[in-house]
Amino acid sequence: MSTDFIHFYSDFNCPFCYALNERLISLGDSRRIQWRGIEHEASATSAVVTPDEKEQLLSEVAVIRKRAPEITVHAPPFRPNTRLVNQVVFGVREQDPKRVSLFRTLIYRALWVEGRDISDADVLESLAREAGIDYPDPEALSPSSPELETWQQEWEGERFKTRLPVLYSSLHEKPLLGFPTYDLLRHFFNGGELPVAPDTLAACQLKPRQNVLLVGEFNPDRCNLVELEAAYILVYQARIEAAEQWLEAQECAPDVVLIDYASLEQAGLELCSRLKREHRYRHTSVLVLLDGLNGEQEMAAFDMGAADVLFDLSNPKVAQARLDAQLRAKQSAAILDALAHLDYLTELPNRREFDRKLEDEWHRGCRHNEPLSLVILDIDHFKGYNDNYGHSMGDDCLRQVARAMGGAIRRHSDLLARYGGEEFAVVLPDTDSDGACRVAEALRAAVEQCAIPHEHSSAAQVVTVSLGVATCVPTLEVMPDKLLEAADEALYRAKQEGRNRLTLHPRLRQGVHCNPLS
């Protein structure tokens, strides 16, 4: 089987790239990561820093601190140019891979932890010595490597929308854009479908060029689109069939679809309706350009799902202002949608997402007559942990436990969620009781192996979890909350029997087809 190499398009002066590098280190498997150095702000310099640039750095670092409190990060006094550092890292790529990886990490930390100027050759040379790397001869460094230029062109193309950071799967040919949670990283590395759109994550705030799909003929007398090409990536498709083929071939949905009603008429409105019915395009703003002020056409467009209607594109500044307003609304909606399904502290799916997954898998099990397993678990004596170590340590404990258990979940179809407080839940589709118990034991062992000290627990001297397991073959006559109740009962038994253990619901011990819920 082919190895799925992950291409990591990154820039050393982007804090999101630094934070993602730290997360990739903690997940291990660095052999699959292939660095692709790019420049996302070629004019960056450590010599001059404007107040706006300073504010932007502070804002980006604040996002990292909120999203990844486990990562140490400080706002540097400047955003240095990274042309030299990319050339140096590229120049040493043939040396020991582990040392080269360490060298890249030291460069990131020098800027984002220590505030050092990584555009300074003396700083880079000292970091190379620390990593055990032979610093390349400055005269041997190529000012314009064809490979670096290729990576830059790939990043600037339509596929990645000039967002940072970018992870790209060479095997599955799909990207993950922005700074992902641990859960999304595991989905991505396992080749599974991402539970959120791959372009809705927090990314570098330097403005990317957004994709705008133009469907129709767009009469040049009413549409001055030339100046808009500098602000957006414009894709022209005169026919609806060609537009639909283009959409089907894209990894990410376009940011905006603009439909020319004058040339497409009712067929254009029907395309608008089809797009808004598809889940993939829920965050795409679909706009309709009408051929003049017409109340009936306006209402028809809104009825078909249009986010807004336009009447004229002859003034590019006004057109850009209208498009930018839609793009801001689209980005806000996407972020809110992602946050609505995410637990802020642990970055795991939240109770709402768990309920949705359980409901979906219940109906799937009904259709295919397949077993469905559920694991409910909570941290033993967590109140005592909070009371004695403090709530800040308690939050850190929850994050460590969540990360450890996430690493024990192997299938992308399984869902680990924070159920509430110190309680977590795992949905295991098409899994019998034996398989569910194996997963539960892997979760228990993963938490215990973290060796988080807990002197106030009766179960062990470290943080542990108790787990309840229940399995059934779903039926239409029974609701999924019955499976939840069974797993809760099993969890209660695990606690009664001494904690730091798993218990299978008693009526399931004889096998999966013995339905406990009837």
- For residues 427 and 355, is the Cβ–Cβ distance under 8 A? no
Over residues 480-500, the mean pLDDT reads: 95
Residue 147: both structure tokens together: 């490979």
- 6-189 has which CATH code? 3.40.30.10
Scored b (16 or more CB within 10 A) or e, 201-233 reads bbbbebebbbbbbbbbebeeebbbbeebeebbb
Give 232-287 pLDDT, tens digit per residue.
888 999 999 999 999 988 877 888 999 999 999 999 999 999 998 888 888 889 99
> Dihedral of CA 216/221/223/229: which sign?
positive
Closest to 353 in 3D by CA, of 195, 479, 480, 488: 195
Cα-only R_g, the chain: 26
Over residues 143-167, the mean pLDDT reads: 85
Give 337-395 pLDDT, tens digit per residue.
766 788 888 888 999 999 999 999 999 999 999 999 999 999 999 999 999 999 989 99
* CA 452 – CA 121 distance, rounded (Å): 41
Over residues 187-197, the mean pLDDT reads: 68
Least confident of 191-195, 292-296, 347-351: 191-195
State the CB neighbour count (10 A cutoff) for residue 250.
14
Instruction: Give residue for tokens 């460590």.
Output: 400
Over residues 100-117, the mean pLDDT reads: 95
| Mean of the per-residue pLDDT values of the chain | 87
pLDDT score of 206 more than 50: no
pLDDT score of 138 more than 80: no
pLDDT of residue 365: 92
Listing from the earlier edge strand, what are the strands of the sheet with 372-379?
415-420, 423-429, 372-379, 465-472, 502-504
> Dihedral of CA 153/156/160/165: which sign?
positive
pLDDT score of 199 more than 80: no
More confident residue, 334 or 497: 497
Phi and psi at residue 335, to the nearest 5°: -65, -45
- For residues 44 and 13, is the Cβ–Cβ distance under 8 A? yes
> In terms of C-beta density within 10 A (0-12 exposed, 13-18 middle, 19 or more buried), how is residue 461 classed?
exposed
Task: Specify the length of the chain in residues.
Answer: 518
Over residues 88-109, the mean pLDDT reads: 91
pLDDT of residue 179: 87
For the chain, residues classed under CATH 3.40.30.10 are: 6-189
- Amino acid letter for position 471: T
State the CB neighbour count (10 A cutoff) for residue 241.
8
* CA 270 – CA 95 distance, rounded (Å): 57
pLDDT of residue 181: 84
pLDDT of residue 514: 40
277: three-class secondary structure by DSSP = helix
Which range has highest mean pLDDT (62-71, 116-125, 185-194, 339-348)? 116-125
For the chain, residues classed under CATH 3.40.50.2300 are: 210-340
pLDDT of residue 516: 47
Over residues 298-305, the mean pLDDT reads: 93
Measured between its terminal Cα atoms, the distance across the chain in Å is: 44
Give 402-460 pLDDT, tens digit per residue.
989 988 998 888 999 999 999 999 999 999 999 999 999 999 999 999 999 999 999 99
Least confident of 125-129, 225-229, 275-279, 327-331: 327-331
pLDDT of residue 509: 40
More confident residue, 108 or 327: 108
15: three-class secondary structure by DSSP = helix
Phi and psi at residue 359, to the nearest 5°: -65, -45
- For residues 184 and 196, is the Cβ–Cβ distance under 8 A? yes
Three-state SS string over 360-406 comes to: HHHHHHHHHCCCEEEEEEEECCHHHHHHHHCHHHHHHHHHHHHHHHH
Q: Which superfamily is assigned to 210-340 in CATH?
A: Response regulator (3.40.50.2300)
* CA 39 – CA 104 distance, rounded (Å): 15
For the chain, residues classed under CATH 3.30.70.270 are: 351-508
pLDDT score of 178 more than 50: yes
pLDDT score of 511 more than 70: no
Three-state SS string over 203-250 comes to: CCCCCCCEEEEEECCCCCCCECCCHHHHCEEEEEECCHHHHHHHHHHC
pLDDT > 90 in the chain, percent:
55
- Amino acid letter for position 390: G
pLDDT score of 95 more than 70: yes
Least confident of 59-73, 425-439, 454-468: 59-73
pLDDT of residue 443: 97
Over residues 322-351, the mean pLDDT reads: 80
Scored b (16 or more CB within 10 A) or e, 402-421 reads bbbbbbbbeebebbbbbbee
pLDDT score of 301 more than 80: yes
pLDDT of residue 230: 76
pLDDT band at 197 (very low <50, low <70, confident <90, very high): low
* CA 509 – CA 518 distance, rounded (Å): 16
pLDDT of residue 1: 52
pLDDT of residue 245: 92
Give the bridge partners for 255, in sequence order: none
pLDDT band at 201 (very low <50, low <70, confident <90, very high): low
Q: Which superfamily is assigned to 351-508 in CATH?
A: Reverse transcriptase/Diguanylate cyclase domain (3.30.70.270)
